[in-house]
Structure 1
Amino acid sequence: MQKKYLILTASYGSWHNVARDNISNYLREKWDIVQSLDLTDLLKKWWDNSRKFYAFSEKIPFLWDATFNLLDQEFTNELLNLLFKSVYQKKFNEIIDEFGPDYVICTFPNWPVFIRNYTLKNKKTFKSAVIITDAIEIGMPWFYGCENIDYFFVIDDFSNKEFKRKFNHIKNNVFTSFFPIERKYFIDKKTIKNENISILLTWLKKPFMLKLLELLKKEDFYKEINIIKWRNAKLFASLKKEVKDKRIKYSDFIDIKENLKNIDIFITKPGWAIMSECIATDVPIISPSFIPGQEEWNIRLMEKAWFWIYENDPEKVVFYLKYLDFNKFLPNFKKIKKENAIEFIVEKLK
């Protein structure tokens, strides 16, 4: 029998929509009915201002810390709840009533408050789940007062424990599922080489990249370095003009998920979706940088689980690339990745 799924996401970053798309593809293959609602459409004016705040806080991390760590988080959450309830809740209720979902899946952390407000005045006729698609979400206030959510899903056991501790969560409904990635993208390598290296330029700085490439040009252990522009057009143009080598390739864009099978080592900031996709394909990450105030949790996870390296010294990065036995990462990848993550989430809901 066909079931109706409403997936609640937000077009901020890519990982929330990556989770939505992967789950949607799986459900549609089973002929279920899937509808998606984007928070950036429902809360357009609020979201436009939020994006400006996020961008500004990347330059001044103290703003982020002051908003989400120095203030009482339960109080912050209630303020946002009042805002959503007074301005946007009615529209959300209408969407729920019109579509009539059997299941509601949240891939963005602001949505549970809408579900809570809906169920305060309406009979809950659907099961609900929240997928923690970014480690930073556990460090923020969104999940206080979410007792009416049926299931929570996190990437690893460490995040599971921290979620329960942070939100004083005592219900036995938090599960370690891994990130929802389609089965076809999982790879189990027998060995990890260091021949094909990709570098994603987002959040990387010119002095680091110039020094790194200068050192790598002198080495012969690798076959190719692919430098990917992503969200750093200025640095990309500068490197393309100044650094020439027949083994260095420049790409405006690549479909990372489709191309990870051709990558041995990935140098990138520790984004949650990329991190998960690399784990799924046995690709170690070296992270020279991260967004202050937002990605420290990912660094903590990296160091605790030992499946990637945080290093901002170009000389040490080259040393790792050349001499580290990356095969030591393989047991750790195997321990955390779950190729049935999507099926696990969907089956738990039923």
Structure 2
Amino acid sequence: MTTWRPDVLGDGYEQLELPLGTDPDGEGEISATLVRYQPPSTDLPDRAVLYVHGFTDYFFQQHLAEHFAARGYRFFALDLRKCGRSRAPGHTPHFVTDLSHYDAELDEALRVVREEVGGGVLLAAHSTGGLVLPLWLDRLRRRPGGVAAAGIVGLVLNSPWFDLQGPSYLRNVGTAAVDIVGRLRPRALIPLPKTEAYGRSLQCDGWRYDLDWKPLTGFPVRFGWLRAVRRGQAVLHRGLDIGVPSLILRSGASRFAPRYDASVDTVDAVLDVRQIARWAGCLGNRTTIVPIDGARHDVFLSTPGPLTEAFRELDLWLEWLDGADEADTSGSRTEADDSDDSATVSVLHRLTGEHA
């Protein structure tokens, strides 16, 4: 029996526990949590959005849910195992040794959403979630009936984590070390410097969230988890076919600061946006990538100007998606920064532009 109960976000929000059984990573019984937004309306749409968060994150962006609802979508968000609402005592925050473990809660969340709405489902994700979902879609495409039978109609990624920062030789050396230690000592901590810069930036701008679920300095990063991420990124780099059109929103620039100052408010302070641009074309056909000048790492937690622009670009793409069934599915719209010599060179195509 499906039992929804009130959520911590208050009026209009409910949550549903999705039991997942025994953790394959050895931390006992686990579950995920599906959140839904139910605006005061008797006429519920027959299409939905399913949103997935990133690392050191959970769903709290009520304005995002309300924006989609105003445009005719029912909104659902998934807190993955050991994250946010789903973390129980004894769980290592966000810890998995294989990103495909998330298939269990993604499959179950999609099943519940499809039962609730009956129509198509638009997927959306941020940061690490923006790596998890394309990999899942690529695997889902190989199942009987594929993505179409699952009812998925599109994908919106908000600053997806497609690669590590830094020059390629350091990424290669670092990945080799992570692979070895991650296999032998998966829960060992990676000694990374702590910074509150991004968290302080969000707090200064008035965004409020649970600091136990999303601490300012982030959760500790463990070798086994980063190994899973790097293995997933390697699969992405070889090329995926997610089977649906995708929109990628990112900041116009990156800056990594050890401490907060006002400049952190207008850049991606977590990921290298050049890497997002470089690997965007690996999702498959019909990918649109749009840089939002002045946006934060989470473009939907930006200051008012970039936030308005991000929603405008999202709405333009959603309008295009509504007519995508009649479009030529063989085209591809991608963009990559040419500031990295090893980057794939392509051209930014906006919704009004030509297909590549």
**Under a length normalisation based on structure 2, what TM-score does the superposition of the two structures give?**
0.31
Larger Rg: 1
**Under a length normalisation based on structure 1, what TM-score does the superposition of the two structures give?**
0.31
